[in-house]
Amino acid sequence: MTTTTRPAPDRSRDLSQPLDKLGPDETLKANSDYLRGTIRQSLYDPITGSVVFSDNKLMKFHGIYQQDDRDIRDERRRQKLEPAFTFMARVRIPGGVLSPAQWLKLDDLGRRHGAEMLRLTTRQTFQFHHVVKEDLQPLMQGLRDVLLDTRAACGDDSRGVMCSINPQLSKIHAEVYALAKKASDHAIPKTRAYDEIWYGAGGGERKEPEEPFYGRTYMPRKFKIGFVIPPSNDIDVYTQDLGFIAIVSRGKLKGFNVAIGGGMGRTDQAPQTYPRLADVIGFIPVKQLIPTVDAVMSVQRDFGDRVERPHARFKYTIDDKGLDWIKAEIESRLGAKLSPAQPFAFTTNGDVVGWVEGDDGRAHYTLFVENGRINNTPERALLDGLREIARVHKGTFRCTPNQSVTISDIDPKDRPAIETLLKQYGLDNLNARSAMRLNSMACVALPTCALAMAESERYLPMLLSKIEPILEANGLADQPITIRMTGCPNGCARPYVAEIALTGRAPGKYNLYFGGGFHGQRLNKMYLENVGEGAILQALEEILGRYARERQPGERFGDFVIRAGIVPEVREGRHFND
């Protein structure tokens, strides 16, 4: 295989070209002066807690979302007040690895600017919620102190790059993580707008072209990259736009199988939008990694839909053009054919909680953080406890792809100190939950998410407390079954690969899905539409009971519901799951 330089940006997207036939977001990007817009003016406008519409859109590329507290939206309207505007800021942490010093800074910034909490996400990073406009610059500058930022955490660009955490495989993890970080650094936008707006850096002389890869219109939509190290599929590689599956032989990283075209997002009542699992299209040696990132991203950059935004993800480009055509185009840009995919096997997409020993003898403790929310409550001082651990910890932290955290790389002699702190802050029993709860995830949803149609993070723990007696009655309390909930069909907790999923349709109403693959290999299928808690619990009682009685030895719940004919199978790689 030959190596190539980054493909030149598609000139048809340049400002000089007519944009009138393209969607409004394309015009906005093209006219934004590489994401500067009027964000600085908006930030200094004292009349409102919000920013103007176009800046709100552009700020997403800087990892920031304007939101308002939906719990008090109606009340504010009645009082003729503007909505309670605040901002969500998402940090870019490739592979979710951070040092104790970085943790302490995040903790400090969360206490100061983020309503005394942090939120771990399903893509291994942190979000600050409830940040007021005036606090955005101090927040960004605080992050810079520990070499963190929020660049490209949202927007039409390469989003946070994921990497399996695999604490047991220390050497391979270190190697793959370094490559994930390299890919992230390579693929993020290069505009200096971020430094100018958030750090007050001088404009200086512009390097032209300012975005050698993206051009003025960036990607048609978000683009997600992930690295996975079998046998764990914790990052749900089949849900990534571009996934790299590490192929390891005799303890050595040989290269990666390449998977393209995954995505969860769908829009309510819009059957032309659908979740899709990625297709594995071949194998590349490690040295071809960055050229492959360029080749795949450039195909989507140049052929993705720039008119219909809901149809602009890579999965639709692939289905429109055909997988063979897309693969040939990627190979032509790479200047070589991909080798045949190499064998690999996944066993789970969940986290293994508790203590494990790495192949280098160091200890790792994965702590279950329910739905990723890190705060202090009367029951457990999670924010305080993790801060104290960060003060003594000499290794790293790894954010898991399931919204939890691993205290990593602990010298065995330092383990007792960590154990003492876990106990002291009441965190030692967070892992003592039903296996279903430990395999649960819920997206943020209300009150901050503008798109939420129903509760998720605030509701799933309560619903699980009603499901757990059913599990116990059927002897299933220790049976890992994945359950995921989202407040709308967008799929932020990757629900469509869960064995049980609930996606919000209206307050208190959900679609119920069954039959995802235990290691993320199969989409689930809708079982009940737009139902409330009563119907959900009734269905679970019946079907979990059947599972307990009728399952075969070792049979997973997701496999059982298909074998038993409760839902039909969504065949490998296929899309529609309604």
Beta-bridged to residue 87, according to DSSP, are 66, 131
Instruction: Please give the residues from 4 up to 63 whose contact with ligand SRM meets the rule CB under 6 A.
Output: none
Catalytic residue among 159, 216, 301, 556: 159
Burial of 420 (0-12, 13-18, 19+ CB in 10 A): middle
In whole angstroms, what separates CA 308 from the centre of its chain?
23
Among 9, 491, 517, 558, binds ligand SRM (CB under 6 A): 491
Nearer to ligand SRM, 333 or 398 (CB): 398
Asked if 239 is part of the footprint of ligand SRM (rule: CB under 6 A), the reply reads yes
Least CB distance from residue 160 to ligand SRM, whole Å? 4
- Please give the full DSSP string across 255-324, using - where no structure is assigned: EEEEEE--B----TT-TT---BPPEEEEEEEGGGHHHHHHHHHHHHHHHS-SS-GGG-SHHHHHHHH-HH
Name which position in 312, 363, 488, 562 contacts ligand SF4 (CB under 6 A): 488
Distance CA 132, CA 53 (A): 17
List Cβ neighbours of 538 (8 Å cut-off, separation of 6 or more).
none
Would residue 399 show up in a list of annotated catalytic residues for this protein?
Answer: no
Minimum CB separation of residue 171 from ligand SRM in Å reads 26
Tell me the C-alpha distance between 66 and 131, whole Å: 9
Look-up of token digits 């997701």: 558
Joined tokens for residue 309? 């935004």
Cβ-based nearer residue to ligand SRM, 65 or 425 = 65
CA atoms within 13 A on the CB side of 313: 27
Partner from ligand SF4, ligand SRM, none contacting 487, C-beta within 5 to 8 A by type:
ligand SF4
Q: Is 490 in the site for ligand SF4 (CB under 6 A)?
A: yes
**Cα–Cα distance measured from residue 408 to residue 366, given in angstroms and rounded to the nearest whole number:** 8
Smallest distance from ligand SRM to CB 200, Å: 26
Q: Which of 166, 298, 300, 448 binds ligand SRM (CB under 6 A)?
A: 448
Residue 102 binding result from ligand SF4, ligand SRM, none, given CB thresholds of 5 to 8 Å by partner type: none
Residue 387: phi and psi, rounded to 5, are -65, -45
Looking at the Cβ atoms of 121 and 166, the one nearer to ligand SF4 is 121
Among 22, 363, 367, 443, binds ligand SF4 (CB under 6 A): 443
- Please, which residue, 51 or 492, has the CB nearer to ligand SF4? 492
Q: Which of 92, 492, 522, 525 is catalytic?
A: 492
* Cα atoms in the Cβ-side hemisphere of radius 13 Å centred on 101: 7
Query: Applying CB under 6 A, which part among 24-32, 49-57, 280-288, 492-500 lies near ligand SRM?
Result: 492-500
Give me the residue label for tokens 């009542």: 269
Out of 286, 451, 528, 537, name the contact with ligand SF4 by CB under 6 A. Answer: 451
57, 222, 315, 362: the active-site residue? 222
The answer to whether 90 contacts ligand SRM (rule: CB under 6 A) is: yes
Q: Choose among ligand SF4, ligand SRM, none what residue 127 binds, the Cβ cut-off being 5 to 8 Å by kind.
A: ligand SRM
Nearer to ligand SRM, 37 or 491 (CB): 491
Closer Cβ to ligand SRM, 42 or 486, answer by number: 486
Tokens of 564: 């038993």
The entry of ligand SF4, ligand SRM, none near residue 486 (CB within 5 to 8 angstroms by kind) is ligand SF4
Interacting span for ligand SF4 (CB under 6 A) from 42-50, 269-277, 443-451, 567-575: 443-451
User: Has 154 been annotated as catalytic?
Assistant: no
User: Which residue of 444, 500, 501, 536 would you call a contact of ligand SF4, by CB under 6 A?
Assistant: 444
Q: Which two tokens stand for residue 236?
A: 């749900």
Closest Cα to residue 330, out of 227, 276, 258, 278? 258
Name the strands in the sheet holding 64-68, side by side, starting at the edge strand that comes first in the sequence. 64-68, 85-90, 126-131, 118-120, 373-374
Q: Rounded to whole angstroms, how far apart are CA atoms 520 and 281?
A: 18
- Could you tell me which stretch among 48-56, 77-85, 120-128, 470-478 binds ligand SRM (CB under 6 A)? 120-128
Decide: is 106 part of the binding site for ligand SF4 (CB under 6 A).
Answer: no
C-beta separation of 282 from 292 below 8 A: no
Of 301, 433, 488, 494, the active-site residue reads: 488
Does 487 bind ligand SF4 (CB under 6 A)? Our answer is yes
DSSP-assigned beta bridge partners for residue 407 = 365, 397
List C-alpha distances in Å: 306 to 58, 179, 223, 302.
17, 30, 14, 9
Among 19, 51, 88, 531, binds ligand SRM (CB under 6 A): 88
Map residues 154-173 to x or -, x wherever contact with ligand SRM holds by CB under 6 A: -----xx-------------
Stretch that binds ligand SRM, among 9-17, 115-123, 389-397, 405-413 (CB under 6 A): 115-123
CB 499 within 8 A of CB 481: yes
Is residue 445 a contact residue for ligand SF4 (CB under 6 A)?
yes
Calculated CA dihedral for residues 105, 161, 266, 467, nearest 10 degrees: -60
Distance (Å, whole) CA 343 – CA 478: 31
The answer to whether 518 touches 495, Cβ cutoff 8 Å, is: no
Interatomic CA distance for residues 131 and 82, integer angstroms:
16
For residues 253 and 284, the answer to whether their CB atoms sit within 8 Å is no
Of 13, 57, 60, 90, which is the active-site residue? 90
Site for ligand SF4 in 504-543 (CB under 6 A): none
Q: Which of 81, 53, 48, 83 is nearest to 69 (CA)?
A: 83
- Residue closer to ligand SRM, measured from CB, 44 or 576: 576
Q: Does 191 bind ligand SF4 (CB under 6 A)?
A: no
Residue 163 among the catalytic residues: no
Q: Which listed residue (122, 150, 366, 439) binds ligand SRM by CB under 6 A?
A: 122
452 touches ligand SF4 by CB under 6 A? yes
The residues annotated as belonging to the active site are 90, 159, 222, 224, 443, 449, 488, 492
**Given the rule CB under 6 A, which residues bind ligand SRM?**
65, 67, 88, 90, 121-123, 125, 127, 153, 159-160, 224, 239, 263-265, 313, 372, 403, 443-444, 448-451, 490-494
**Given the rule CB under 6 A, which residues bind ligand SF4?**
443-445, 449, 451-452, 456, 486-488, 490-492
